[in-house]
Structure 1
Amino acid sequence: MEKANAEAHNIKGLIKGDKLVQKAVYDAFAPKMLAACQNFISDRTLAEEAMNNGFVKVFFNIKKYKQEGSFEGWIRKIMIRESLSFLRKKKFVIASQSEIILEKQKTYQKPVEEVSEIQQLIERLPIEFKIVFNLYAIEGYSHKEIAELLKIPETTSKTRLFRARKILKEQLQTIKKANGRF
């Protein structure tokens, strides 16, 4: 069965509440959705909890899916929102701090050998910076969308991204110096 037909079949099955289809959809998307949740929640067990809550919402709200855009994208948005909601409930997200004045930022390309180091550094960012960085750089959200999701001013989103990039750049330079890559 081709992808479009399989997707249509799955959506119909989900609407009917078919448990086998629910399991098939879960099995098909869980690895990617867990990775999406772990972009925000480092602890695997907590990320799995958020993902499972997200799937419950997917199955409960399937009738709201308008079949505009990809089904996977719709599920991913639910997972991201659920991860952020989970963090808020667990009080991991720190309310808006005093923010620095935003300066123009320059982006740079990362060599392939640095990707693993960067992923580790992202994990160590303060949670409010990590969330904005992941939403913007990984998930492709705009600052306006991030501000709406997190209920913060758009300038706060921009500032947090700026500070996250600055921290990452400084830490990467420290690693490069320590490893003699300069």
Structure 2
Amino acid sequence: MEQELLLECQRSDRNAQRKVYEKMAGRLYAVCRRYLKNDEDIEEVLADTFYKIFTKITQLQNPETFEAWARKIAVNECLQKLRSNKGLLISLEENFIDHSEGTTENISLEKDILSLLNFLPEGCRAIFNLFAIEGYPHKEIAAMLSISEGTSKSQLNFARKKLQELLVNQNI
């Protein structure tokens, strides 16, 4: 992100904020989509994310870290939404829908895998995203979600196994 554009955002320049929104909305939407299923929730979290970005942008010390900083805000907003909805961790025994009838659409493997994340319980999906995609260690995940490291590891293991099953069932 251009340093001058971010400086203009720090001065609450609406035009600069619009440009930042246009550059970042797609990326942050994709982050939110990995954590949340409901489009209304995603839009709400995305709006909350940009509100926090623009109201706290003066706290950004290094403009070079803007994108990582914005992603972290989006992840935290998603986790807050998951907690407020119904509690983050879902029982490992939760029933899953059999999705063995694959579609004939020829889309990329990455999109296929990301769409399969929607079939995981919210807790497993959040932990998988935090560990495998965002790169957080189990200790930080446990602290963020107020769970034990062991729970984080077991939820990640469960998510991986369930994703493997879904991949096999989808012939991906």
Tell me the TM-score normalized by structure 1. Answer: 0.78
2:126 matches 1:131: yes
Residue from 69, 72, 77 that aligns with 2:72: 77
2:56 matches 1:61: yes
Q: What amino acid is aligned across from residue 131 of structure 1 in structure 2?
A: A
Counterparts of 2:63 and 2:148 in 1: how far apart (Å)?
29
2:27 matches 1:32: yes
Residue from 109, 134, 144 that aligns with 2:139: 144
Counterparts of 2:108 and 2:27 in 1: how far apart (Å)?
23
Cα deviation, 1:36-70, whole Å, max 9, x if unaligned, reads 01110112221111011011001111121110752
Map residues 1-182 of structure 1 onto 2, 5 A cutoff: 7-67=2-62, 70-91=65-86, 93-94=88-89, 114-176=109-171
Matched-pair contact (CA < 8 Å) for 2:6–2:63: no
Gaps of 5+ in 2: 94-106
Aligned residues between the structures = 159
Gaps of 5+ in 1: 100-111
The answer for the alignment partner of 2:104 in structure 1 is none
Counterparts of 1:20 and 1:138 in 2: how far apart (Å)?
32
Counterparts of 1:114 and 1:134 in 2: how far apart (Å)?
17
Cα deviation, 1:11-35, whole Å, max 9, x if unaligned, reads 2112111111111111110010001
Higher relative contact order (CA 8 A, sep 6+): 2
Say if 1:113 and 1:80 are closer, same or farther in 2 by CA, change over 3 A: closer
Q: By how many angstroms is 1:92 displaced?
A: 5.0
Counterparts of 1:150 and 1:81 in 2: how far apart (Å)?
10
Percent of counterpart pairs with the same letter? Answer: 35
Counterparts of 2:124 and 2:13 in 1: how far apart (Å)?
40
Counterparts of 2:73 and 2:92 in 1: how far apart (Å)?
30
Counterparts of 2:68 and 2:111 in 1: how far apart (Å)?
25
Counterparts of 2:23 and 2:148 in 1: how far apart (Å)?
36
- Corresponding residue SS for 2:37: coil
Counterparts of 2:139 and 2:120 in 1: how far apart (Å)?
22
Q: By how many angstroms is 1:175 displaced?
A: 3.8
Tell me the TM-score normalized by structure 2. Answer: 0.82
Q: Over aligned residues, Cα RMSD in angstroms?
A: 2.4
